[in-house]
Structure 1
Amino acid sequence: MAPLKPLFKLTTLIALGAWLLLVCLPFWSYTDELVLGLGVILLAIIYSWLLFAAMRQRPEPGSGRPGFFSLAGVLSLLRQPTAALAAWVHILAFDLMVGLYIRSEGAIAGISHWALLPCYVLTLMFGPLGLLAFLALRWGFAVAA
């Protein structure tokens, strides 16, 4: 489990670096490429590696049958440190992809960068809640127009 701690820190730093680009340099010509290439794609590669590593490991005794179609199965999966880290990296990558979506769609809708900042924070911290906030904001802009 010790090798997973540095990987956890690395993936978290990759995601935070990409979020900083979105927040601090949203209109820089390389922001999207760096966020997608060095953020999302790199996280997706690490996720894939962790997923296959987790699939080769045996579940802990007494943890139940791992699976995706029941809460007990998901809990059994997440008791395994490699699978839990894979789930974390999955969240980082997808939240970052939502951040790119918010930036892109916000620009198309003419929403100021400052108005998008709360959506970014909510997406980083709570994923779908940030997307929901953005969709409500975009709807509000469309209705007001």
Structure 2
Amino acid sequence: MTAVDPQLLFSLTFPVAAPFWALMILAPRWSVTRRVVGSPLIVVPPLLGYAALVLPDLAGFLAAVSSPQLAGVAVLLGTPVGAAAGWAHFIAFDLFVGRWIHLDARERGIHPLVTAPVLVLTILLAPLGLLAHLVLRTLLPSRREVAQPA
């Protein structure tokens, strides 16, 4: 049994990540955004929530993921602790992917108005946001390619 309230951690997980998303979407060129989002440590707040949920029942989580079966994972995720841990996992990894998309887009010179909807899609459905960015980075020439003579 977990020592923390899964409802509380579930409720806090996205709000602790939201300021980083706001910086990337609303102020992508601001020096503060560059400094804050430049650190991979922005994912630590949701990771701490994940750890607080998983570590008290580490044996149960390891049993479900070390030899995954759909039924076992469904049972785990069907509990308040499992669902809250899954949510924290999504939020942390979505933020990590969003951070990479933001940094990659800046490096490639992709306009923030093109990247912003991709980041929103990443917040909502991260694999589709990542796919959208990978398509964009394939279709749009990077700043490095444009700067180099043919």
TM-score by length of 2: 0.79
Q: Structure 1 residue 119: deviation in Å? A: 0.7
In the alignment, is the contact (CA less than 8 A) between 1:53 and 1:82 conserved in 2?
A: no
Supply the AA of the counterpart residue of 2:29: F
Matches for 1:56-71 after TM superposition, within 5 Å: 67-68=64-65, 69-71=68-70
Matches for 1:38-77 after TM superposition, within 5 Å: 39-55=42-58, 67-68=64-65, 69-77=68-76
In the alignment, is the contact (CA less than 8 A) between 2:17 and 2:45 conserved in 1?
A: no
Q: Structure 1 residue 26: deviation in Å? A: 1.5
- Equivalents in 1 of 2:34, 2:13: separation in Å? 18
Q: Show structure 1 runs of 5+ residues with no match.
A: 60-65
Supply the AA of the counterpart residue of 2:88: V
Report Cα offsets for 1:58-87 as digits up to 9, x if no partner: x9xxxxxx6221111110111221121011
- Equivalents in 2 of 1:3, 1:77: separation in Å? 16
User: What is the count of residue pairs matched by the alignment?
Assistant: 138
- Equivalents in 1 of 2:26, 2:115: separation in Å? 12
> RMSD over aligned Cα, in angstroms?
2.6
Q: Structure 1 residue 37: deviation in Å? A: 6.6
In the alignment, is the contact (CA less than 8 A) between 1:54 and 1:83 conserved in 2?
A: no
In the alignment, is the contact (CA less than 8 A) between 2:43 and 2:92 conserved in 1?
A: yes
- Following TM superposition, the consecutive aligned residue runs of length 4 or more in structure 1 with deviations greater than 4 angstroms are 35-38
In the alignment, is the contact (CA less than 8 A) between 2:50 and 2:89 conserved in 1?
A: yes
TM-score by length of 1: 0.82
In the alignment, is the contact (CA less than 8 A) between 2:95 and 2:123 conserved in 1?
A: yes
Supply the AA of the counterpart residue of 2:95: L
Which range moved further: 74-83 or 107-116? Answer: 74-83
Q: Show structure 2 runs of 5+ residues with no match.
A: none
Percent of residue pairs identical: 36
Report Cα offsets for 1:119-142 as digits up to 9, x if no partner: 101100001100000010010013
1:26 matched to 2:23? The reply is: no
Q: Structure 1 residue 88: deviation in Å? A: 0.3
Which range moved further: 79-88 or 23-32? Answer: 23-32
Q: Structure 1 residue 54: deviation in Å? A: 3.6
Which range moved further: 86-95 or 66-75? Answer: 66-75
1:115 matched to 2:114? The reply is: yes
Q: 1:47 to 1:140 in 2, by over 3 A?
A: same
Q: 1:67 to 1:4 in 2, by over 3 A?
A: closer
Q: 1:81 to 1:97 in 2, by over 3 A?
A: same
Q: Which has the higher contact order (CA 8 A, sep 6+)?
A: 2
